[in-house]
Structure 1
Amino acid sequence: MNLLLSLLLATPAHAWTADEPWRTVETEHYRIHYPVDTEAWALDLAGRIDPMRERVSEVVGWAPDERTEIVILDPRSRANGFALPFSRSPRIGVFPTAAPASSGIGNYRLWAEDLLVHEDAHILHLSRPSRNPLERIVFDGLLGVPAIAIKSPAWVSEGYATLVEGILTGAGRPNSDARATFLRMLAVEGQLPSYAQLDGSSRWRGRSMRYLVGSAYLEWLADRYGDERLPELWARMTARERRTFDAAFEGTFGAPAPELYGRFAAELTAGALAVEPVPDGSERFLDRSGELDPPSVSPDGTRIALVEKSTDGKATIVIREIAVNEEAVTEREESIAELLEADPSDVAPIPADTAPHKTVVRLSSPLLRPETPRWVDDEHLLFSAWVSDSHGILQPDLFLWDIDKKRPQRLTRAANLREAEPCGDSAVAVRRQYGRSSLVRVVLETGEVTPLTAGSPTVVEANPRLDDTCTTVAWLRHDRDWRLMASPLDQLNGMIPASELEVPLPDGGQVLSVDVHPDGTALTATIGTSGYLDLWTRPTDGSADWTRRTHQVGGAFDPDVTASGEIYFLTTDPSGFDL
């Protein structure tokens, strides 16, 4: 019952309101209901969706006769979707706001394709009726949900949909350097989840294990025993002979699921440990746990701002001094000296692997969910925060915070702006709204918004960064894949062909984020190659090739380059992000 409950609870209570204009378009396999604001995105989806169903059906081995109802909604202005595998009239909800490259679901060929393949895999996998008469009466008839949806552990339902997403799109999480890095990091640290933890746990990203580790385990099973075995497992789970998931699994693969998971984990760990670590000269600045937003160093190089997120979703902007807190160091040394003086036979604790840094100020509010703070000058931060509009829909707007004051100033209203990069009296930001994405310029004093690139339902803009003189802008653009773009800011008017703005990546590279060096002479980006996510640097003028800067087991994310040439970035360990 866990899957059904989680799907029902994930259903938004609202999106666009009922009095807004809605339309419906029908295809052979679907009926799509959409607000008129999203018509371009909805019709593009409708033109692609039937061939997707046929491909998903070939992989899963079953398809319903009736149309599937799809509702387009966007209650949080974030990338997501859900599936409700009802016995009669299954439903899918899709959020047209595309994921940025740095997201865990940011590796896609087309956002609508990746999203629909994943959710449709749920429908075709979990809506299949049982061939057992009693199960059909109880589950399909009384509960309205097929028995296979109730029997399947969460790691099976989500892991399989994630696996299908990778098989059919050639992208998705299974083909991302992010999943490979995450699995390798856990394996090297001896912290792969136990079989019991695959469905979810309270550990960092515990609920992501069902997608990332679950899909990798199912992929391993298919590689070892044959692609046909997973459809055979679903057939055994819906057979006339009543079977639990465990019984169906053991009959399909010849051993219990926990036992084979142990072999999978052992092979994954052995492969990860066989890779020799490469020192790269990086030093850990801050040892944290949980989620962190990208770092931002103040122009004078003395402070660093981060958004730290608690397990309950609370987000706090924390500003720290970059200099070591010598007072805290002295206090610790004196405390240890007193300890040993009182008991000379005692043993001092080993030194911490990071030095202490004084916290300057924090900003936290139950009404704001701040993200991606960036320094305007040494005393002001610009950030996005998700706030409710008059219909209760969450949208990101821009806020300016004088760090000497408690309350930030709201600059825009219902503008749907994020990932803003300030420079002077304006900022370059990303607008993602109604399934369209574009770069815009925002005047900080008035909140006036001017488009810099044309919005499109199939092109996604992300992560703009500027040099200190506001001359060069670099950003990521998704057009069939993620591309690194760079342009003189004053020429970003659509007159220069996109091919001339694109910065070539290392062979096979997947770019996740970028920063422009303050003097504008180089770009440093997080680029994935062969299952590794690390920092690479290249001169802006293309006079030299990319140089790999890091070799981090936990990946290197979201670089911020200072005027002195230092690079602050995020990495991961089993407890979360570190700086």
Structure 2
Amino acid sequence: MYSVMKKVAFGSLMSLSSLSYAESIWQTIETEHFNVHYTQGHKRWAESAAHELELVRDKVLEQQNRSLEAKADVVVFDPYHGANGFAIPSTDQPLMALFTTPPQSDTVISNSSGWQQLLILHEYIHLVHLSQPNRSTWRQTLRDVWDPYDIALAIMPRWVAEGYATLMESKMTGRGRLFDNYTEALLTEFARQGALLPYSALNNGNDSYLSGSMAYLIGVRYLAWLEKNYGEQTLDAVWTRMQAVESRDFDEAFKGVFGDHPAKLYKRFVAEYTYLSMASAQDLPELDAKLWHDFKFDAKNLRLSPSGEFIAVTERDSKGRTELNIYATKDNEKAEKDFNEKQKALLIEDPKDVADNAPDTFGRIKKHTLTPSNLSGIRYARWKDENTLYFVASVQKPNNQHAVQGELFQWELDDNQVTQLTTDAGIRRFAIDTKNNAILAEKVRYGYSHLVNLELNNGSETILSNNHLGDTYDYPEISENGNKLAYLKSGLNQNWQLYVRDMQTQNSFQVPTPKGYQFLTQPSWSKDGNTLFYVAGVEGAINLYAYDFSKQQLLQLSQGQHVVSFPQQLNDNELLYLGVSSEGPDAYTLEINNTVSSVTELSNTKQAPKLSNAAVQLDDAQIYQQPLQSKPYDKWDHSASMTLGSQYYSASTEVLHLGIKGSDFLEEVSWHVGLSKSLGDSTLVGGFADVKMQQGNTEWQAKAFSLELDTAAQNRGAEVAAMAPHILQKTGFSAQVSHSYRQNMLSLTGHAAVHASELDTGEGKQDERWLRLGLEQSWQYDKQSFAIGQQIKAQWLDGKSGESDWQGYNLAATVFGKAFHMPLYIQVEQAKREDSQLNLGGFRSSLIDQNVMANTIYKPDLPFFAGVAERYQGYGGGMAMSEGAPWLYYQQHQLDNQVFGQSYGVKWTTWFNGRDWSAKFAPAGISDLRIDIGLSRVESERFENENRAWLGLWFDL
């Protein structure tokens, strides 16, 4: 039986392996101060980045007299098909992650000499700023050997860390968010409304519109204000003081040189910024604009239907939940009638009362709503015809189950059907060529941005533009007659430029722009195709412009009264647009002829001016062509850290774990060696050595262990079953191989595990051997406010203890989901053994897991061996107030068809195990760190009812 089971195990894993996606092959470019790791396709981007990294390091050293003492790891990849990056500070294992997809024209990070240069400078400043060694010998020694302490000392308030990196990004390039016209216009508008964030909300926001971005946008301006008023060296002294022999946090270091708490000086900064913003508004002329619709929070991408009867808009609430909504454009006569009748009735009942003023708009009637499924998002929606919209959503890449990219979807309004139209397209914004059943889109892959024509009938693709690193395309827009294509393009060290291509002759024309502009985005054709509307920023204001092709004349339609976006021609004389306030965007109409003025001073250069007067600045951005030697990624190049963990369980014991943990940068090989010892009693003592290897979607694990468990010494030893051994000693080895497969929201994981140990229960020693085969399947369907999913775990075991053969199985089925945004789950468990016993109770730890004690049903609010039986059944469920919040739960236990007891209470678990990319690349002493917290009421007829608690901080390799 045992040999047969082995064949089945490996046969199952081979079958699963055939379903897996292609494995990413990593390469490394080693320079003097950096190891740049990249995957296939990113070679050119990574080579250029390696050159830029060394140049940035030299300039930052010159500017700050600071650098990294350790060699930094840099990972180049594209997991989200969006512009981003992050850094993990550490004095001995600093990390930078660079996402290669460049930013789009209407973002606050679009103002750069080049995406690669801006990103590298920003993330490197993070490392230099936060990874400086401590001048206290004992603190730095502890940082060198213990990663959690190293990271803890590197942490600063978010607004400080992001604000300072943004400040340096701007000072050293002359571009960046400090000099961004769009950002300045937004903050000016917020200040005029008295809506700049209080200091208490500057770090993480307060659910108000754009508040999560203010650590960057306001943080950089506050720090620049401090430098201007107190001097650059005063601010720089804060960073020096934070690494002093005397221990100081940020507030203490700040107050020592500035003389006041940062919150107090922030109030002064806000007052000055608000005063200047209010003063600049005094000379603004009135704008003949009317409120058309009041959106509740965030809205973007206004799109009128071909007939003009409907408008599509993507809306997002304060929690980040997104919908694509369709509104009728005609006036909401019913709402207006109801309002008037209500006011009339009010005055009839009380003639002396004062009626409500009519609102500026009664809004529009919502006709259709599309909620994205499985968190894929809805972006860039536009009409194909009156009943059909196309949009882009994120879909798992065909060759990488850990990354997503944009694919085209179709939404049919009449039957509410959504269909995916492209596979492996990797597109962002697009225009629809209805005549040829094609789309013209910006495609991004491996950092290259270009325009393509995708024919939807056969999937053929034609490149319409240059395909050079450093060039970025955006906002393709086709005129209604299909004769003209407008699009945006940005090159290195340039502002965004607006072009129009004649689709018949293929000749291109650069559309005039106002002199001194810096922000340019969102072109939109008039209905007759003779005028192109767009949004541009000049001198801190965002305005609407229109270029009339028949008159060859540039017209300005607004003068900074609103932060405008997404212009659409509503009728012959009205323009519809979004105007942004501190409460989010709302839709307005503008009488075009009443506000128009001719622009006579036009921009005559593509180059963007550098606005910094800093003494040390980077040279112009470029893509470096010199090839660099690459080598296969070395998974045996490891770093290590001391580990310290502790677990307290009121039902059993308190355990201290001490060890050493190491891994390579990508965690393809991880290991953990340590000792565990109960504190205050003799319940548990032992040692372990774990190793884990990952290759693509396949994982190998092995564990050597030796432990002694004294069941009677537990805190609730009196509850231990009479059949339980008093002393259990076990020394042995276990190994497991698993393989996972994922397709969108469906995942499958199969595994085979073996175990061999010597077991001593006081009645003589015996060998224990077993084999386990398992399959885990899960699926979910998530509509944001509502979700449903299921998970099934099935395991079959075949083993031998001494001279006795035994078999068994474990089954668990879970149904989970959300209702009204509240997570819920219901779970059923069953386990059975033939010719052996199951043990109920105890907790998993770095020393003990399912591969060490396979016949244990771990329950943290019960002691080890609280119950012994051949069959276990468990029923339970729980709910939480929001995702990530603690669970309110209930659990019932049955042994051999008899109720053993029940528990209910609160529990919460989190861990850093590669579920997101920042955890994936965390130092060895941080990754796999797990936190368990619980408080429960345990009730049983076998022992006294009691409250139980547990708290664990340990490593789950």
Q: TM-score, normalised by structure 1?
A: 0.92
Q: Contact between 1:129 and 1:238, CA under 8 Å: does it hold in 2?
A: yes
Determine helix, strand or coil for the equivalent of 2:232.
coil
Partner of 1:567: 575
1:461 aligns with 2:470: no
Residue number in structure 2 paired with 1:374: 382
Could you report, residue by residue, the CA deviation over 1:173-225 in whole angstroms, capped at 9, with x for unpaired residues? 11101111121011100011111111122222221111000100000011111
Q: Which residue of 2 aligns with 1:72?
A: 76
Determine if contact 1:56/1:164 at 8 Å carries over to the other structure: no
8 Å contact kept, 2:392–2:408: yes
SS of the residue corresponding to residue 374 of structure 1 reads strand
Pair 1:207 & 2:212 matched: yes
Equivalent position amino acid for 2:424 in 1 = A
1:9-32 deviations in Å (ceiling 9; x for gaps): xxxxxxx98822221112222111
2:286 is matched with 279
- Determine the structure 2 residue equivalent to 1:50: 54
**Conservation of the 8 A alpha-carbon contact between 1:476 and 1:485:** yes
Query: Which fold has the larger relative contact order, with Cα–Cα distance below 8 Å and residues 6 or more apart in sequence?
Result: 1
Q: 1:445 to 1:184 in 2, by over 3 A?
A: same
Q: Distance in 2 between matches of 1:147 and 1:62?
A: 20
Q: Return the structure number with greater helix share.
A: 1
Map 1:464-543 to 2 at 5 A.
Answer: 464-480=476-492, 481=494, 482-492=496-506, 501-510=509-518, 511-540=520-549, 543=552
Kept in 2, the 8 Å contact 1:68–1:90? The answer is yes
1:397-450 deviation digits (Å, cap 9, x = unpaired): 111222112112211012111211113122211111110111111223444332
Structure 1 residue 256: deviation in Å? Answer: 1.8
Asked whether the 8 Å contact 1:282–1:550 carries over to 2, the reply is no
RMSD (CA atoms): 2.0
- Taking the aligned partners of 2:503 and 2:150, their CA distance within structure 1 comes to 54
Change (3 A) 1:330 1:248: same
Aligned twin of 1:388: 396
Counting only pairs closer than 5 Å after superposition, residues 152-163 of structure 1 correspond to structure 2 as 152-163=156-167
Q: Partner residue of 2:322? A: 315
Shift of 1:565: 4.6
| CA 1:219–1:155: 2 relative to 1, 3 Å | same
Q: 1:17 to 1:193 in 2, by over 3 A?
A: farther
Pair 1:389–1:18, CA change in 2 (3 A): closer
> Helix, strand or coil: the match of 1:408?
strand
Matched residues in 1 for 2:387 and 2:140: separation? 65
Deviation at 1:102, TM superposition (A): 0.4
Distance 1:334 1:27, change over 3 A: same
Q: How many angstroms apart in 2 are the aligned matches of 1:452 and 1:273?
A: 46
- In structure 1, give the amino acid aligned to 2:319: D
Q: Which moved more, 1:287-296 or 1:525-534?
A: 287-296
Whether the 8 Å CA contact 2:301–2:380 is kept in 1: the answer is: yes
Aligned counterpart, 2:448: 436
CA shift in 2, pair 1:210/1:338, >3 Å: same
CA distance in 2, matches of 1:43, 1:245: 37
Q: Which moved more, 1:212-221 or 1:569-578?
A: 569-578
Aligned residue for 1:295, secondary structure, equals: strand
**Aligned pairs (5 A) from 1:98-137:** 98-137=102-141
Cα distance per residue 1:296-350 (max 9 Å; x no partner): 0112111110011223333211111111011121112112222333333433222
* Distance across 2 between alignment mates of 1:220 and 1:261: 10
Letter in 2 for 1:280: L
The equivalent of 1:13 in structure 2 is none
Q: C-alpha separation between the residues in 2 aligned to 1:317 and 1:467?
A: 24
Listed as ranges, the matches of 1:238-257 within 5 Å are: 238-257=243-262
Aligned AA (2:189): M
SS of residue in 2 equivalent to 1:441: strand
Q: Deviations over 1:146-169 (max 9, x none)?
A: 56522x211100100111111112
- The structure-2 alpha-carbon separation of the partners of 1:542 and 1:175, relative to structure 1 and needing over 3 Å to count, comes to farther
Q: Which runs of 5 or more residues in structure 1 are unaligned? A: 1-15
Which of residues 268, 281, 296 is equivalent to 2:303? 296
Secondary structure, counterpart of 2:489 in structure 1: strand
Partner of residue 369, structure 2? 362
Q: Distance in 1 between matches of 2:21 and 2:159?
A: 34
The correspondence for 1:180, drawn from 168, 184, 209, is 184
Structure 1 position 258, deviation (Å): 1.3
Distance in 2 separating the partners of 1:135 and 1:457: 44
Distance in 1, Cα, partners of 2:423 & 2:220: 40
Q: Which residue of 1 aligns with 2:234?
A: 229
Q: Report what 1:5 is aligned to.
A: none
* Residues 511 and 547, structure 2, Cα contact 8 Å, conserved in 1: no
User: Residue 88 of structure 1 aligns to which amino acid in structure 2?
Assistant: D
For residues 47 and 129 of structure 1, what CA distance do their matches in structure 2 show? 26
Q: How many residues align?
A: 556
1:420 maps to a residue whose letter is: F
Mark the CA change 1:347 to 1:163 in structure 2 (over 3 Å): closer, same or farther: same
- Structure 2 contact 136–245 (Cα < 8 Å) conserved: yes
In 1, the alpha carbon distance for the partners of 2:57 and 2:92 equals: 18
Match in the other structure for 1:7: none
Aligned to 2:101: 97
1:396 counterpart SS class: strand
Cα distance change of structure 1 residues 402 and 146 upon mapping to structure 2, 3 Å threshold:
closer
The answer to which of 395-404 and 189-198 deviates more is: 395-404
Q: Paired residue for 1:548?
A: 556
Instruction: Establish whether residue 400 from structure 1 lines up as the match of residue 407 from structure 2.
Output: no
Which residue in the other structure is 1:414 paired with?
424
Alpha-carbon distance change, 178 to 543 in structure 1, aligned in 2, over 3 angstroms? same
Report the CA distance shift for 1:550/1:48 in structure 2 as closer, same or farther (over 3 A). Answer: same
CA contact (8 A) 2:296 2:317 kept: no
Do the aligned residues in 2 keep the contact of 1:87 with 1:127 (CA within 8 Å)? yes
- The 2-side partners of 1:522 and 1:347 are apart by 47
**C-alpha distance 37-186 of structure 1, shift in aligned 2 (>3 A):** same
> Which amino acid is 1:485 matched to?
Y
Matched residue SS, 1:118: helix
**Partner residue in 2 for 1:220:** 225
Distance in 2 between residues matched to 1:501 and 1:43, nearest whole Å: 34
Shift of 1:501: 3.4
- Aligned equivalents of 1:302 and 1:487: distance in 2? 29
CA shift for structure 1 position 295: 0.4
Counterpart contact for 1:439–1:453, Cα < 8 Å = yes
The aligned counterpart of 1:37 is 41
Distance 1:190 1:32 in 2: 45
Deviations 1:470-528 (A, max 9, x none): 11111110102211111112444xxx6xxx63333211212122122232212211101
Aligned pair in 2 of structure 1 residues 284, 36: CA closer, same or farther (>3 Å)?
A: same
CA distance in 2, matches of 1:380, 1:444: 15
2:535 is matched by which residue type in structure 1?
T
Q: Distance between the aligned counterparts of 1:76 and 1:575, measured in 2?
A: 28
- Report if aligned partners of 2:142, 2:150 keep a CA contact under 8 Å in 1: no
Distance 1:250 1:25, change over 3 A: same
Secondary structure (helix, strand or coil) at the match of 1:207 reads helix
Q: Distance in 1 between matches of 2:192 and 2:63?
A: 33
Letter of the 2:426 partner, please give it: N
Q: Secondary structure at the match of 2:140?
A: helix
The range that moved more, 119-128 or 41-50, is 41-50
Q: Separation in 1 of the partners of 2:355 and 2:57?
A: 64
